Amino acid sequence: MSELLAVKGIGKVLEIKLKSLGINNCIDLVRTFPIRYDTHRIDSYEEAMLNTEIVLPAKIFKNASVAYIRRRLTKMTIIVLIDKYEVSVSIYNREYLRLYMIKDAEIVITGRFEPDFKHFVASDIQLRKNYQEGIIPVYSVANISDKIFAKIVLGAYNIVKNQLIDDIPDTLLKKREVAGIADFYRIVHHPKTMTDILAASRRIKYDELLKFALKIVCMKSINNQTITRSKTYDIAKVRQFIASLPFELTDDQKIVTNEIFRDLKQSRQMMRLLQGDVGSGKTIVAMIAAYAVVSGGEQVALMAPTEILAHQHYKSFTELIAPFGVKIAFLASDVNEKSKSQIISDLSSGLIDIVIGTHALIQDRIRFRQLGFVIIDEQHRFGVRQRKILREKGWVPDVLFMSATPIPRTLAISVFGDMDVSSIRSMPQGRKKVITAICDYSGFNDVIHHCVSELKKGHQVYIIVPLITESHKTNFMAVDTVVKELRHLIPPEFTIAALHGKLGGEEKNQILTAFSMQKIAVLVSTTVVEVGVDVPNATEMVILDCERFGLSQLHQLRGRVGRGKNQAYCHLVTDAILLGTNRFAILETTTDGFVISEEDLRQRGPGEVFGEEQTGIPKFRMANLITDHELLEQAFVDAHLLIDSVNEKAKALVATTFFGIKEPNLD
């Protein structure tokens, strides 16, 4: 008989469902931790304050009614009695609850009184009989209720509780005041007090962060042992190039440039992350380093994730470096075969100094005479394997990674622990703050009216949408739908064009060129314009259905405007703000990419922000690299101790975590 079937409450159907989720035995079951805990407590009407969340019991006085406000938005209204007071309760996009919201039904409402104590905006409504008070573990396991899952986990725990063996040395558990494995599994699934929750959470977080830190420390150790040739470059030529720039470097750019040049002089391979906000001037720093390497007789490769960004780099490098006798080539999938063959030949013979391109640079037939420096822009958009292939086209070339998703330095060292980190925080002088506002779709026409006023001043507008074409699976806006609608809202003298990823590279470049030459007034686009598009005359950015994007991505998109001397604006349009939360509010108050990225990480975690596959960052069950930074720092200290330890359990943990030799023994 299957081990799972021995658990009370698990039958054949539930067993199949669990196995489809990768839960094959009792150990797997008890290792499936809650994603959070909800503390359910019903408040009293006397505790209520305006605009402050409260949970109240209520009795329905009048059956629910549903109003279909507009596309994708419904509003259900119920008249209830709370302590004999008649209150109108409204909740958005929950019309399916209407069947249960009938006269005399007893319910529990969660939400806020606004703008007075006669109107209540709810974020949740439950029947009173279904509302469970106390500390409730939330598992969110697909197609299995939390109540049932908690019950079967308890049954599985009782079967295997004597088989659980800790893989972390007792000395570290005591030092960090972390629960041992036996206590941990008992309290993690059935906490009785807030103290239990804190103890369980601390154990999960420490376990995750320690193993994460171990991987980082091991990778850093390996990288530090990688030897390469120190670069020789003509410092006089480099200074001459810097003096020719049409602007003076900011203090941050000067500091970062010096950090990179110190790396170039070393015999250890450079593995440096250069992070900075949108428009902070990362590219010019990379350009200075590239010119230095070329002056020493070696080649440079710059790889960007999109043709748009690669073209932008090619244009910038050609304008500023080519006059100094540097041969620069562009290589992407859309380059014709004859030109591509010539470029490949010139790279292998050394006639090309710098090649700029996309994934085309990692093709097998690409060979370099002497590749000494690799620059990877928007590095989190490439997989680990793709970055590795490009680096291996030279004899241990120095590598500079660039990212416009900046995070605090201490966190960057943790997330990209196998790299050194440089940050550009200051912005070039003269940049105006982009004025940002958030609204729901009832304000859409006002937003378009503002766009028209900018167009009449001779400026240009971006409108960003999440989909290329409409889908029956979702009601989110699509490029073709928006273009049709805008033709009725924007005067015909203003040209509207569409841009998205399904267009060919040449067609995309033609549209972008026309937009940059002001031949197109309104560009309706997907996120293909997120990076690499520089049109100083564009002063308005409208992002529809902005809930589809993370904060960092919204900030990146906003960075397409405000690049000239005129005041720029960004409007975020979403009905999500009517549902009781506004995670976008920070974008109205700051344009500091470091602050925004930190909040994005706090909300979504690093795996979502940077991409789990691209960075190798695990998707933590509970740990958060922002809020748990103190525990993370302790985990790094302990990881170094484990690496150097002769303790057998410590050595086994290191081998399991980094090399994946075997799972810890839990039998």
Query: Of the segments 149-163, 283-297, 567-581, which one has the largest average pLDDT value?
Result: 283-297
4-56 residue pLDDT tens: 999 999 999 999 999 999 999 999 999 898 888 888 889 999 889 988 899 99
Q: What pLDDT shows up at residue 660?
A: 55
**Which tops the pLDDT comparison, 281 or 61?**
61
Region at 228 (left for phi over 0; alpha for psi -120 to 50; beta for the rest) = beta
Q: What pLDDT shows up at residue 667?
A: 29
State the architecture of 42-130 in CATH terms.
Answer: Beta Barrel (2.40)
**Those residues with Cβ within 8 angstroms of residue 485's Cβ, 6 or more apart along the chain or in another chain:** none
Class of the CATH-defined domain 435-590: alpha beta
Q: pLDDT confidence of 663, banded at 50, 70, 90?
A: very low
**Those residues with Cβ within 8 angstroms of residue 380's Cβ, 6 or more apart along the chain or in another chain:** 403, 405, 610, 611, 614, 615
Assess whether pLDDT exceeds 50 at residue 662: no
> Per 3-state DSSP, what percentage of the chain is helix, strand, and coil (rounded to 5)?
45, 20, 35
**Which tops the pLDDT comparison, 417 or 530?**
530
pLDDT above 70: percentage of residues in the chain: 91
248-289 residue pLDDT tens: 899 999 999 999 999 999 888 888 889 888 778 899 999 999
* d(C-alpha 480, C-alpha 93), whole Å: 26
The rounded Cα 527 to chain-centroid distance in angstroms is: 14
Assess whether pLDDT exceeds 80 at residue 562: yes
Assess whether pLDDT exceeds 50 at residue 187: yes
Q: Report the candidate in 510, 553, 560 with the shortest Cα–Cα distance to residue 535.
A: 560
**DSSP assignment, residue 268?**
B
**Which tops the pLDDT comparison, 485 or 657?**
485
Assess whether pLDDT exceeds 90 at residue 309: no
Q: How far apart are the first and last CA of the chain?
A: 19
Q: Are the C-beta atoms of residues 375 and 402 closer than 8 Å to each other?
A: yes
The number of helices, as runs of H, and strands, as runs of E, in the chain is 23, 20
DSSP states along 307-369: HHHHHHHHHHHHHHTGGGT--EEEE-TTS-HHHHHHHHHHHHHT--SEEEESGGGGSTT---S
Average pLDDT over residues 519-525: 95
Q: What pLDDT shows up at residue 40?
A: 87
Q: What pLDDT shows up at residue 659?
A: 60
Ramachandran angles phi, psi of 461, nearest 5°: -135, 135
Dihedral sign of CA atoms 541, 542, 546, 549 in order: negative
Q: Are the C-beta atoms of residues 541 and 569 closer than 8 Å to each other?
A: yes
Note if the bond before 536 is cis, omega within 30 degrees: no
* d(C-alpha 508, C-alpha 500), whole Å: 8
Token output for 517: 């030459």
In Å, how far are 5, 145, 204 from 142, measured between CA atoms?
Answer: 19, 8, 21
Supply the pTM of this predicted model: 0.69
Same fold, 42-130 and 273-424: no
pLDDT above 90: percentage of residues in the chain: 45
**Those residues with Cβ within 8 angstroms of residue 206's Cβ, 6 or more apart along the chain or in another chain:** 176, 178, 631, 634, 635
Least confident piece of the model among 174-178, 241-245, 643-647? 643-647
Token output for 369: 């005479």
Assess whether pLDDT exceeds 70 at residue 648: yes
Average pLDDT over residues 195-224: 84
Q: pLDDT confidence of 380, banded at 50, 70, 90?
A: low
* d(C-alpha 572, C-alpha 588), whole Å: 10
612-644 residue pLDDT tens: 444 455 667 778 777 888 898 899 899 889 888
* d(C-alpha 66, C-alpha 93), whole Å: 9
Q: What pLDDT shows up at residue 448?
A: 96
Arithmetic mean of pLDDT over the chain: 86
**For the chain, domain boundaries:** 42-130, 273-424, 435-590
**DSSP assignment, residue 608?**
I
Token output for 145: 């209720």
Amino acid, res. 104:
D
* d(C-alpha 605, C-alpha 622), whole Å: 10
> Helix or strand or coil: residue 95?
helix
Q: pLDDT confidence of 466, banded at 50, 70, 90?
A: very high
* d(C-alpha 468, C-alpha 471), whole Å: 9
Rounded to the nearest 5 degrees, what angle is found at the Cα of 542, between the Cα atoms of 539 and 548? Answer: 140
Q: What pLDDT shows up at residue 661?
A: 41
* CATH 3.40.50.300 correct for 273-424: yes
Strand-strand pairing, 54-70 and 106-113: antiparallel
